[in-house]
Structure 1
Amino acid sequence: MIGFRGATAVVGIGTTEYYKRGTSPLSSAQLVLQAILRACEDAGADPRKVDGFVSYGDDANAGLGVAAALGVHEVRWSTQIWGGGGGGIAAAVNAAAAAVYSGQAECVAVYRALNEADDGRRAFSKGHLGSLYTAHGILTPPQVCALRTQRLLEVDGVPASTMEAIALAGYRHAQNNPDAVAYGKPIDHEVYQGCRPISEPLRLYDCSRENDGAAAVLVVSSDRVGDYKTTPAVILAGVQGAAAGWTESVENEQNYTSAGFHPALVQRLWNGAGVGPDDVDVTQVYENFTGPAVAAMIDHGLCPPGPAAGEILTVDNLTLPGGKLPINTSGGNIAEGFVHGIGLVLEAVRQIRGDSANPVPRADVSLLIGGPMAPLVSSTIFGSPATV
């Protein structure tokens, strides 16, 4: 979209704590409201002036209901991204940016909430394990992703060490983040290798957590960032979609070991942002499981495919300080906490603002990768004000 680059920005972020699944004292709706109110407080914004609402993945909290509870003056934009898994996480940010850019709204809240007591078990994957799967004993998301990950290792030759590196990087970063569920609970190579298997080749620490909680960000026009008290994280580009041969999961995708980010989609992302993989300072990659995260980084050109991926995706290279390709700097879905990945959006913004628990010095380009191996995939690139 002509002129889209840098036209919008995130000016506020808010989150609840991460509760063990099914234990939140607040309802799902209350969690959303708390997160949005905290985002407004962060930005110095009047909650009643939020006029747009976007979520994803069958969030039970409709925008109109959230707006009524907040007492907003007018709802001008309310939508939800289709597609299961976390593929809609960046797409939700992109939809908010499109609404603001096109004049459909002025201040859009992007949010996601989960409360197992309200939403049920594995609400984030409802509707995506149909009869094709269940008839063959495939009942859970890790089984689907394990099949693809095993092919990634056996046929593509990607070393299993890359998966361990993703997991350990998240845990290392979580040790500096007091809000992370894994804070004070480090793991190492021996612990990772010794943990119980979940679905071969995925082990316990290859799998994301499940938590109750919520988080939200506020998207506004870059022309109005001076009205807010935070450093803006400018939205440079965003993409979403699926190529032919990759839509609803039916296990006959043409590029079976891909994370679903086809070359044309990725190239649009880089072209739209005016940067390339080598310009990325920090990445938040949705790791529902470590195998899909590895595939997503390959798809985005952050590392080569095949055996050479193991030379780039090492624990030291993915971890701060010193790593040249730092990822999931709050701990990610695996070690910080999992509310369908919305926490990754906040951390991508924190890196631009400089208030991450593990800040990348002078970070100008922050990449968010959403929902690898999901039917719908999406990515967003945030930039510092200096990038525009």
Structure 2
Amino acid sequence: MSGLSGAAAIAGIGATEFSKDSGRSELQLAAEAVRGALADAGLAPSDVDGMVTFAMDANAEIAVARELGVPELRFFSRIPYGGGAACATVQHAAMAVATGIADAVVCYRAFNERSGSRFGRVQAAAVAAATSAGLDNGWHYPVGLSTPAATVAMFARRYLHEFGATSEDFGRVAVAMRRHAATNPKAWFHGRPITLAEHQASRWIVEPLHLLDCCQESDGAVAIVVTSAARARDLAHRPAVITGAAQGSGSDQFTMTSYYRDDLAGLPEMGLVAEQLWRQAGIGPADVRVALLYDHFTPFVLVQLEELGFCGRGEAPGFIADGRIELDGALPVNPHGGQLGEAYIHGMNGIAEAVRQIRGTSVNQVDGVENVVVTAGTGVPTSGLVLAAG
């Protein structure tokens, strides 16, 4: 176990409603979510002395602090690589708390990703940026690899070829996530499950990805409060103790599909995160009752199950075939519905659901939860957490 393991905990969670048109600024969304997380923890803005968010977030820490009346900040940090940052925000907060740099750190993510800038569309400016990423994009944009779906489709095609998987295997992930969302009143797709036939009939986005293989676009915000584990035990709720927190970037890492690698059907960066998580937490896959996996595209859920050690390489289609990742299965995945069913808030809503599972307060509560594994965006440098009941 690492020196970080067990030192910090998530003491509060907050969120706005999830919509397709919030009708307010991203700064207002951020402030609402942070205010909710502080109220959930039983803390005041004056208790906050640290903030962590995504490099992509448009809301400056000092602006959020002003809106809330936070008097001063002793620590602030931003994590790059889009959704890969989600769990790393909590990792940075936990490191700050464990080392005494800060006492109460808020992690937040807020955007109007449906009514404002939509990530699923071609971002023409990304190819002209005077950065190394702009240079990289200049090589693959001209051949049509200019959206997340296009790059992931290349990965998905290789996975199908290498392991004999089918589109229906991807569809079983989507069906499970939508089934979970259907019983979650806060999910965008509440009351709207899908069948495998409906998945197969949904239109192509980029073959072999159907529309229902792709996460939704959402407006909303989620915030998380991290304090020391000892302090969290005296606050409003049962703490979710951070027993593992890791980041990872694999060899020849690219963005969304690392197509310079010899092995095009794995996610070695997630394997690196998994090795760190299990070592830090002192547990293994068999000790996990529920998993919150980043489900921006269905193929990456399958590969994460493999990289995390729940099954072997190429075995995920068989692993999930009997409903194992559904609520009554051996390893429920994303009981809230995930980004396919609840909302796409860059993975932060998955962390919030993990906390609810630890507390025993989820609308789709899994029995006997003591440890939860959470992952962040895949196909990019990524991160992960293990949370345990405090």
Query: Shorter-chain-normalised TM-score: which range?
Result: over 0.9
Q: Work out whether residues 35 and 215 of structure 1, in 8 Å CA contact, stay in contact via their aligned partners in 2.
A: yes
Match of 1:381 among 378, 386, 389: 386
Amino acid at match of 2:351: V
Amino acid at match of 1:297: L
Q: Report matched runs for 1:28-43 at 5 Å.
A: 28-43=26-41
| Matched residue SS, 1:55 | strand
Q: Work out whether residues 91 and 238 of structure 1, in 8 Å CA contact, stay in contact via their aligned partners in 2.
A: yes
| Matched residue SS, 1:135 | helix
Amino acid at match of 2:383: S
Amino acid at match of 2:176: A
Q: Work out whether residues 169 and 319 of structure 1, in 8 Å CA contact, stay in contact via their aligned partners in 2.
A: yes
Distance 1:381 1:31 in 2: 27
What is the match of residue 101 of structure 1? Answer: 98
TM-score scaled by structure 1?
Answer: 0.93
Structure 1: runs of 5+ lacking an equivalent: none
Match of 2:324 among 317, 321, 342: 317
Distance 1:87 1:253 in 2: 19
Q: Work out whether residues 115 and 212 of structure 1, in 8 Å CA contact, stay in contact via their aligned partners in 2.
A: yes
Match of 1:293 among 290, 301, 307: 301
Structure 1 residues 246 and 254 mapped into 2: Cα distance closer, same or farther (>3 Å)?
farther
Distance 1:161 1:117 in 2: 28
Aligned length: 379
Q: Say yes or no: does 1:328 pair with 2:320.
A: no
Aligned-pair identity (%): 36
Q: Say yes or no: does 1:369 pair with 2:365.
A: no
Amino acid at match of 1:352: I
Structure 2: runs of 5+ lacking an equivalent: 127-132
Distance 1:45 1:11 in 2: 9
What is the match of residue 111 of structure 2? Answer: 114
| Matched residue SS, 2:66 | helix
What is the match of residue 360 of structure 1? Answer: 366
Q: Report matched runs for 1:235-254 at 5 Å.
A: 235-248=242-255, 251-254=259-262
Structure 1 residues 282 and 267 mapped into 2: Cα distance closer, same or farther (>3 Å)?
same
| Matched residue SS, 2:13 | strand
Amino acid at match of 2:69: G
Distance 2:10 2:199 in 1: 36
Amino acid at match of 2:294: Y
Greater mean alpha carbon deviation, residues 349-358 or residues 132-141: 132-141
Amino acid at match of 1:18: F
Deviations 1:180-238 (A, max 9, x none): 01111111122111111111111111100001100001000011113311110000111
Distance 2:227 2:194 in 1: 40
Q: Work out whether residues 9 and 232 of structure 2, in 8 Å CA contact, stay in contact via their aligned partners in 1.
A: yes
Deviations 1:68-108 (A, max 9, x none): 22111220111110113x11111111111111111111111
Deviations 1:8-51 (A, max 9, x none): 1001000001111xx21110000000000001111111122111
Match of 1:255 among 250, 258, 263: 263
Amino acid at match of 1:328: N
TM-score scaled by structure 2?
Answer: 0.92
| Matched residue SS, 2:323 | helix
Distance 1:217 1:61 in 2: 16
Note the C-alpha offset of 1:116.
4.1
Structure 1 residues 246 and 195 mapped into 2: Cα distance closer, same or farther (>3 Å)?
same
Distance 2:262 2:72 in 1: 45
Q: Work out whether residues 113 and 217 of structure 2, in 8 Å CA contact, stay in contact via their aligned partners in 1.
A: no
What is the match of residue 130 of structure 2? Answer: none
Distance 2:26 2:383 in 1: 25
Distance 2:319 2:114 in 1: 41
Note the C-alpha offset of 1:247.
4.3
